[in-house]
A and B are shown apart, each in its own frame.
Chain A
């Protein structure tokens, strides 16, 4: 570890005394190398990096800079003094600043003379550093005029610059953390970014966070794999060649190789097709998605985070649009971009488990349940809500889903997480859309509440409603789904039956 530029040893971090985010992590970066840090969402990658830049303090652990023990930084400015800076995944760019303004943002103090900004000096220095780092752009254009990959490069240049300005000219080699920098880029832009990065490597070291396996294999020198807060594997690409499958297994902790390509579910062919997707494509998210959804069927879209599964379900819900392909529901062809209310009219309901997204927290339970079902509870001859019917409907749902509450008039914000979720599901149980899209329906709630929700969803399935499920929890697929499509890098790789799926993920 003597040649390491920056090293952490035995770092642990717990949140709220319960969630163990990091457990005894040790890793290091040498001079002029790109170190990959990979893992699924929630594996602890971001927490670790936030500790390095001083956003969180660690519970335990040591930090070594050039072989010397140093305390952990307490804020990003202190981190920059040690040479560490971060480029966040999104929202880092300020579109209406010019490149040089953006580069020196937060460091203007150093360029003030008689309380006037020395813009000429800033422009010149900006041009110098852009040239030095091989970023091909003019210092006086607006950020939003640049292509996305160049914006990312400018952000990286800014990170390097802030290290230099904070630590004194050329004092230390900058260590730049790149948090999933290729997220919004297409293939070509990715390649460009990596070529530039390889060039920049001469001046800096990088921590490269990603979950896109091919790019990690191709462009990093070494890779650390995190899973559930633990360091599970280290690979050095200069010494050995690692197969994609091995890396995948290390990341998700299960096999990915033995997939059976075709699945026949008995009796499925006789059922009517409710939804057909043909060659659905949105560049950068998913490609050529083709499948049928039958009545009384639940299809799961499974894959690691970043595989495009949530984008697919959101496209069907009408939150995103698709670029190519066809989407047919009940014999009707859907437009590429339609708002959720149009899709609902055609029978597609969307349920997201993300906390609070679907709920009106300052409303009583009964309003939350009734408002998508308002047509059912209007008086016979007038468009007026029948409050009695409304209450009865809510009471029925509360009983069905075993929502624990003193009354249906209780405001939702005072309910527990599981009960909130049940209320959110409840409105769709009552509405009975032809197709129900489930986007992580039980995220973050306890086992008991999950069971209740699964039970009701299974009942709905039996009554003829078909569903599409996307989840982070493999168990959920094996409970609810009849078929599971395995998606990676935006493409359907294999289709599995529940039994096969269980074997593959090992549950």
Chain B
């Protein structure tokens, strides 16, 4: 079955990697394109810094949901957890002091667990369920905050620079990302989650408690979103908005799908999401500094999402869990 490699100039490993992760080609293409078009502004230190900042935000938001997407469901509650969590920190501050930040973590885990239980017991589409929950949390945020963003002081230490030029948030997020990948790749839980996404009936027949692991997937998603939000809380200014911004909801989704995790589940996962998030940030910054009208950015992001959904659903069907 092995085809003889016609081109010896390119090692087989690289060819295989590119085949399995075509997003790398997209990344290189986008990077080269914008470097040629706007050499001054795109290839600047400031731009790279912005890309990195955006990348961290996006990755941390997308990490949890990408675990859920692997099982073939969808979790949109991340922005809700972050928003409501921020307000809860502000509310708890007078009582618990600096420990209040852990309220976000608690909220994330609880939210994930509840979503999981409702989704598996009531058997409703997770998309609608988590979307409704997102709106509910948004309403709750606005209500609790009285309609104004509530800044909280005292968490500056989270983002204190430890190594020059490297955002501390990046250092924080490395172990989190590693943990997510580890769970999905090296443990029983991860294997079962991929099994459910790949062939739910088969998983059931093979004796997997499908409901339990689906609940676990949502809980893990909530956990990672919770941890991510704790870090991002300071990173994004020490206060959360009370108005829902659609971008923050859609972008992580784009990162997941662009990375090559099909929405039907069964393959992909957190490790792909990192690449997707990075590609998206490069693409976004490139478009942003181009002379295109700011609104056209939204247009392009929408189109990008559609294209990547089609590609990940069709072209990568056969791609394994790499």
A383 touches B320 (CB 8 A): no
Q: Residue B195 contacts which of A345, A350, A371 (CB distance < 8 angstroms)? A: A371
A343 touches B187 (CB 8 A): no
A:345-377 near B, CB below 8 Å: 345, 349-350, 352, 356-364, 367, 370-372, 374-375
- Complex: chain B residue closest to A409, CB-CB: B320
Does residue B186 face the partner (Cβ distance < 8 Å to A)?
yes
B318: chain A residues within 8 A (beta carbon): 362, 411, 413
B317 touches A362 (CB 8 A): yes
A371 touches B191 (CB 8 A): yes
A:369-393 near B, CB below 8 Å: 370-372, 374-375, 378, 383-385, 387
Does residue A268 face the partner (Cβ distance < 8 Å to B)?
no
Q: Residue B207 contacts which of A343, A385, A411 (CB distance < 8 angstroms)? A: A343
**A360 vs B207: C-alpha distance when bound (angstroms):** 14
A357 touches B187 (CB 8 A): no
**A340 vs B204: C-alpha distance when bound (angstroms):** 6
Does residue A491 face the partner (Cβ distance < 8 Å to B)?
no
Chain A: residues with Cβ within 8 Å of the partner, total of 37
A387: chain B residues within 8 A (beta carbon): 186
> A363-B320, A384-B186 are contacts. A341–B207 as well, Cβ < 8 Å?
yes
Does residue B205 face the partner (Cβ distance < 8 Å to A)?
yes
**Interchain nearest-CB distance for A294 vs B (Å):** 23
How would residues 333 to 345 of chain A score, 1 for a CB under 8 Å from any chain B CB and 0 otherwise? Answer: 0000001111111
B192: chain A residues within 8 A (beta carbon): 371, 374
Q: Residue B206 contacts which of A356, A385, A427 (CB distance < 8 angstroms)? A: A427
**A340 vs B188: C-alpha distance when bound (angstroms):** 18
**Interchain nearest-CB distance for A357 vs B (Å):** 6
Beyond A339-B209, A350-B207, A360-B266, 5 additional pairs, beta carbon < 8 A: A360-B198, A362-B267, A363-B320, A370-B191, A384-B186
A383 touches B205 (CB 8 A): no
Which of B187, B199, B205, B208 has the most chain A CB within a 10 Å cutoff? B205
**A383 vs B183: C-alpha distance when bound (angstroms):** 10
- Complex: chain B residue closest to A413, CB-CB: B318
Q: Residue B205 contacts which of A357, A363, A375 (CB distance < 8 angstroms)? A: A357
Which of B191, B194, B267 has the most chain A CB within a 10 Å cutoff? B191
A358 touches B205 (CB 8 A): yes
Does residue B2 face the partner (Cβ distance < 8 Å to A)?
yes
B207 touches A344 (CB 8 A): yes
> A349-B207, A372-B206, A406-B1 are contacts. A385–B266 as well, Cβ < 8 Å?
no
Does residue A319 face the partner (Cβ distance < 8 Å to B)?
yes
B92: chain A residues within 8 A (beta carbon): none
**A371 vs B202: C-alpha distance when bound (angstroms):** 11
B:206-225 near A, CB below 8 Å: 206-210
B205 touches A374 (CB 8 A): no
A361 touches B199 (CB 8 A): yes
A367 touches B321 (CB 8 A): yes
**Interchain nearest-CB distance for B203 vs A (Å):** 8
**A205 vs B307: C-alpha distance when bound (angstroms):** 53
B186 touches A385 (CB 8 A): yes
B207 touches A362 (CB 8 A): no
**A367 vs B206: C-alpha distance when bound (angstroms):** 13
Does residue B319 face the partner (Cβ distance < 8 Å to A)?
yes
B205 touches A340 (CB 8 A): yes
B201 touches A339 (CB 8 A): no
B208 touches A341 (CB 8 A): yes
A339: chain B residues within 8 A (beta carbon): 204, 209-210
> Can you list 22 residue pairs at the A/B interface with Cβ under 8 Å?
A339-B210, A340-B205, A340-B206, A341-B204, A350-B205, A352-B205, A356-B199, A357-B205, A358-B205, A358-B206, A360-B266, A361-B198, A361-B199, A364-B320, A367-B321, A372-B207, A374-B192, A384-B186, A385-B187, A385-B188, A411-B320, A414-B1
Which of B1, B188, B192, B321 has the most chain A CB within a 10 Å cutoff? B188
A340: chain B residues within 8 A (beta carbon): 204-207
B206: chain A residues within 8 A (beta carbon): 340, 344, 358, 371-372, 427
A:274-300 near B, CB below 8 Å: none
- Complex: chain B residue closest to A433, CB-CB: B207
- Complex: chain B residue closest to A359, CB-CB: B202
B2 touches A406 (CB 8 A): yes
A413: chain B residues within 8 A (beta carbon): 318
> A341-B209, A349-B207, A360-B266 are contacts. A374–B188 as well, Cβ < 8 Å?
yes
A374: chain B residues within 8 A (beta carbon): 188, 191-192
B201: chain A residues within 8 A (beta carbon): 357
- Complex: chain B residue closest to A317, CB-CB: B205
B187: chain A residues within 8 A (beta carbon): 383-385
- Complex: chain A residue closest to B213, CB-CB: A341
